[in-house]
Chains A and B, each alone.
Chain A
Amino acid sequence: MTAILQTENLTKRYGKGRKSRLALDSLTFHVEEGDIFGFVGPNGAGKTTAIRILTTLLKPTAGEAWVGGHSVRAEPKAARRMLGYMPDFFGVYGELTVQEYLEFFAGCYYIPPRERPPLIADLLELVDLGHRREDDVDSLSRGMKQRLSLARTLIHDPQVLILDEPASGLDPRARVEIRDLLVELARMGKTIFFSTHILADVAEICTRVGIIEAGKLIAQDTLAALGLQRNTYQRTITLEVLGDPAEAERILHAIPVLNDVRPSPENDLPPGRARWEADFRGDDRALSALLSDLVEAGLPVVHFSEEQTTLEEVFMQLTQGIVS
């Protein structure tokens, strides 16, 4: 796999002197060909700044970024040829029809006039707007505008799509439609890099995730790996034991790797059983060792499980709400 999108120590500082603000702090990440990469972070984390640098709209203060191997600083035109950009707002030319809107952007990419009609027809078919081609752009719903915007990003057949909050402000149905479109585009060989607040979308479609906070990348991996890198994230263990609850509690408190041992709020158990919850930090080997330790300590364990950590929880654990 080769990196189609890459940044190295990307730094952006707005303003000068005391009032300057560091928006990106040595951001380093890469996106491999064919990835659907979710760029997740709280408001003000630096997602849009990073995207604006990647799309050649903003010059970094330091560091470098490449799109398809082309430096966004040294070869902005070559980088632009490789990427399609959809911002978090919809740029409107209210007086143009859907067809004219796409024709205009085809012109901006110098696509020969004779090639435009079939290309536009295909794109409108892809985003399911073929029936609205003669309608004014202004008359489309927000979801339709977003799909048209996606068609615009594809007009020059770019290899990478950089999308800033593509599903923000959409109703659930439109969100699912956009999500499905992104999956379809990835299937067609496009690499997709998108920022979002909607973690469910990330969990649903992303192959890799980068989490950014205060301009720094704090995690970057596959979803599975992020879920498995539990030695850094807190995991919650649920266990059911037989016998005297007080004795069980004493043993559990004596295990050093367990924190905040507490009775489970769901205690609808048959007599003689007790359910406990505890926080634990460690990888899967440590988790397995913990079970052995509990059994060796004489605790009659009848149920031992880990609560599935959602992406929201990972995100909340990793980020501290710091805004750069």
Chain B
Amino acid sequence: MSETALSPRRPAWPLRMWNRLSRNPIVYKEFRSRMRQRRALWFIILPLLGAAGLVLLVSLIVLEENNTADFESRRQVGQAVFIVIIGIQATLAMLIAPAISAGALASEHEHQTYDLLRVTLLSARSLVWGKFVASAAFILLLMLLQLPLLSLTFLFGGIEPAEILVHTSVNLASVLYFCSIGILISSLNRRALPATIGAYVVSALLSIFLPLLLLLLGALFFDALDIPSSSALVQAFLMAGGLFLVSLSPPATMLVSENFLQDGDLWYTSTTLNNGTTLYAPSPWLIFLALSLLLTLLFLGLTVRRVKRKER
């Protein structure tokens, strides 16, 4: 038998990636350190208490308004609970993820441990991915803790599985996206506080101000060129551009996707242009997933480059 035949088969890439991550000492160290900090307890308890309190409050309000506990009221309670939980998860993704990840590399400088790590055999990629996975996993853990409350929506009804799929996937992708922004900003700062502020500013710029600015510029552009909006080409352009802008912002993505869902469009939507052509476009949540994952990889790549360049 040849040697090639005896050699073990190379595992598939997800398994290889998992093996690499499970061997990454940064992930263990980060989790161990984070869970031992006193504020970790507050990070866990406060969102949970807040969610439970809000769920109770909206349930009482809905039931009080309807003055009855019939099927429709229960549906409304289910919908209200869902909005609260998804809202809290979105807050965790947009507000806590940048803060947690922005300290990842900057805190190594603050604790004077950065050089110690860089002289080990740990590659820049392992360092950055370890920090990223640890930060994202902590936020995902906080989200996971909301699951029992989210399961109440199944008890009350009023929420379609498609809605859970759309909003949960947008929130999960947001966590990765905002953590990657935080990590990139962290690699540019030697102190955690400016890094955190920077991460918030960049996150807000990318997901709020940039879409608004593009929207404004787009409106001015069409106005300046005096293009009749009835043109099919302009219609198609406006639709594509609008969807793209919406997909830059997680809250906007969720709102528009929800609207599409109300019309029964989970994966894509279609519209008939003035010239009679039917234009198909993916739902914003799908665009957001693709865009955010792409940007996440880009930001992580830039961070690895930055960490490598610090040796120079």
- How many Å lie between the Cα of A246 and that of B33 in the bound state? 79
Beyond the given pairs A85-B115, A104-B25, A106-B25, 19 more chain A to chain B contacts, judged by CB atoms under 8 angstroms and listed by A's residue number, are A56-B119, A57-B115, A57-B311, A58-B312, A77-B121, A87-B115, A91-B111, A92-B111, A95-B33, A96-B29, A100-B29, A107-B23, A107-B29, A108-B25, A108-B117, A108-B120, A109-B120, A109-B121, A156-B121
Q: Are B111 and A93 in contact (CB under 8 A)?
A: yes
Residue of B33, B114, B120 near A93 (CB, 8 A) is B33
Is A90 interfacial (CB 8 A cutoff)?
A: yes
Which B residues contact A (CB, under 8 angstroms)?
A: 23-25, 28-29, 32-33, 36-37, 111-122, 311-312
- How many Å lie between the Cα of A116 and that of B4 in the bound state? 32
- How many Å lie between the Cα of A58 and that of B115 in the bound state? 10
Q: Which of A83-102 contact B (CB under 8 A)?
A: 83, 85, 87, 89-96, 100
B28 neighbours in A (Cβ, 8 Å): 104, 107
| Min C-beta distance of B67 to chain A, whole Å | 52
B111 neighbours in A (Cβ, 8 Å): 91-94
- How many Å lie between the Cα of A234 and that of B25 in the bound state? 55
Residue of A83, A94, A100, A152 near B116 (CB, 8 A) is A152
Q: Are B120 and A105 in contact (CB under 8 A)?
A: yes
Q: Are B120 and A56 in contact (CB under 8 A)?
A: no
A197 neighbours in B (Cβ, 8 Å): none
Q: Are B33 and A96 in contact (CB under 8 A)?
A: yes
Q: Are A92 and B122 in contact (CB under 8 A)?
A: no
Q: Are A110 and B113 in contact (CB under 8 A)?
A: no
B32 neighbours in A (Cβ, 8 Å): 95-96, 100
**5 A-B interface contacts by CB (under 8 A):** A59-B311, A76-B311, A91-B115, A108-B25, A152-B116
| Min C-beta distance of A166 to chain B, whole Å | 14
A59 neighbours in B (Cβ, 8 Å): 311-312
Given known contacts A95-B33, A95-B36, A96-B29, is B119 in contact with A80 (CB within 8 Å)? yes
A95 neighbours in B (Cβ, 8 Å): 32-33, 36-37
- How many Å lie between the Cα of A56 and that of B312 in the bound state? 9
Enumerate the 5 nearest inter-chain pairs by beta-carbon distance, A residue then B residue, closest first: A107-B25, A91-B113, A108-B120, A59-B312, A95-B36
Is A132 interfacial (CB 8 A cutoff)?
A: no
Name A149's closest neighbour in chain B (CB-CB): B116
Residue of B29, B36, B112, B311 near A90 (CB, 8 A) is B112
A56 neighbours in B (Cβ, 8 Å): 118-119, 311
Is A55 interfacial (CB 8 A cutoff)?
A: yes
- How many Å lie between the Cα of A6 and that of B204 in the bound state? 50
- Name the residue among A59, A83, A95 with the largest chain B CB count within 10 angstroms: A95
Is A81 interfacial (CB 8 A cutoff)?
A: yes
| Min C-beta distance of A55 to chain B, whole Å | 5
Name A91's closest neighbour in chain B (CB-CB): B113
Name B108's closest neighbour in chain A (CB-CB): A91
- How many Å lie between the Cα of A235 and that of B276 in the bound state? 103
- Name the residue among B24, B116, B119 with the largest chain A CB count within 10 angstroms: B119
Q: Which of A104-160 contact B (CB under 8 A)?
A: 104-110, 152, 156
Residue of A57, A94, A106, A107 near B119 (CB, 8 A) is A57
B24 neighbours in A (Cβ, 8 Å): 107
Name A100's closest neighbour in chain B (CB-CB): B32
Q: Are A92 and B117 in contact (CB under 8 A)?
A: no
Name A103's closest neighbour in chain B (CB-CB): B25
Q: Are B113 and A108 in contact (CB under 8 A)?
A: no
- How many Å lie between the Cα of A140 and that of B120 in the bound state? 23
Name B118's closest neighbour in chain A (CB-CB): A57
B114 neighbours in A (Cβ, 8 Å): 91
- How many Å lie between the Cα of A271 and that of B161 in the bound state? 113
Residue of A81, A83, A110 near B23 (CB, 8 A) is A110
Given known contacts A95-B36, A95-B37, is B119 in contact with A55 (CB within 8 Å)? yes
- How many Å lie between the Cα of A96 and that of B30 in the bound state? 10
| Min C-beta distance of B104 to chain A, whole Å | 14
Given known contacts A81-B121, A108-B117, A108-B121, is B25 in contact with A91 (CB within 8 Å)? no
Name B116's closest neighbour in chain A (CB-CB): A91
- How many Å lie between the Cα of A77 and that of B311 in the bound state? 12
Given known contacts A58-B311, A77-B121, A108-B120, is B25 in contact with A93 (CB within 8 Å)? no
- How many Å lie between the Cα of A96 and that of B32 in the bound state? 8
Proximity string of chain A (25-61) to chain B, C-beta cutoff 8 Å, 1 when within and 0 when not: 0000000000000000000000000001001111100
- How many Å lie between the Cα of A57 and that of B307 in the bound state? 11
A107 neighbours in B (Cβ, 8 Å): 23-25, 28-29
- How many Å lie between the Cα of A144 and that of B248 in the bound state? 52
Name B117's closest neighbour in chain A (CB-CB): A108
- How many Å lie between the Cα of A52 and that of B119 in the bound state? 10
B311 neighbours in A (Cβ, 8 Å): 56-59, 76
B23 neighbours in A (Cβ, 8 Å): 107, 110
A55 neighbours in B (Cβ, 8 Å): 115, 119
Q: Which of A65-84 contact B (CB under 8 A)?
A: 76-77, 80-81, 83
- Name the residue among B37, B121, B122 with the largest chain A CB count within 10 angstroms: B121
Given known contacts A59-B311, A93-B29, A96-B32, is B122 in contact with A108 (CB within 8 Å)? yes
| Min C-beta distance of B40 to chain A, whole Å | 10
| Min C-beta distance of B188 to chain A, whole Å | 18
Q: Are A83 and B119 in contact (CB under 8 A)?
A: yes
Name A90's closest neighbour in chain B (CB-CB): B112
| Min C-beta distance of B134 to chain A, whole Å | 13
- How many Å lie between the Cα of A109 and that of B117 in the bound state? 10
| Min C-beta distance of A58 to chain B, whole Å | 7
- How many Å lie between the Cα of A99 and that of B304 in the bound state? 29
Name A77's closest neighbour in chain B (CB-CB): B121
- How many Å lie between the Cα of A196 and that of B112 in the bound state? 20
- How many Å lie between the Cα of A70 and that of B37 in the bound state? 41
B312 neighbours in A (Cβ, 8 Å): 58-59
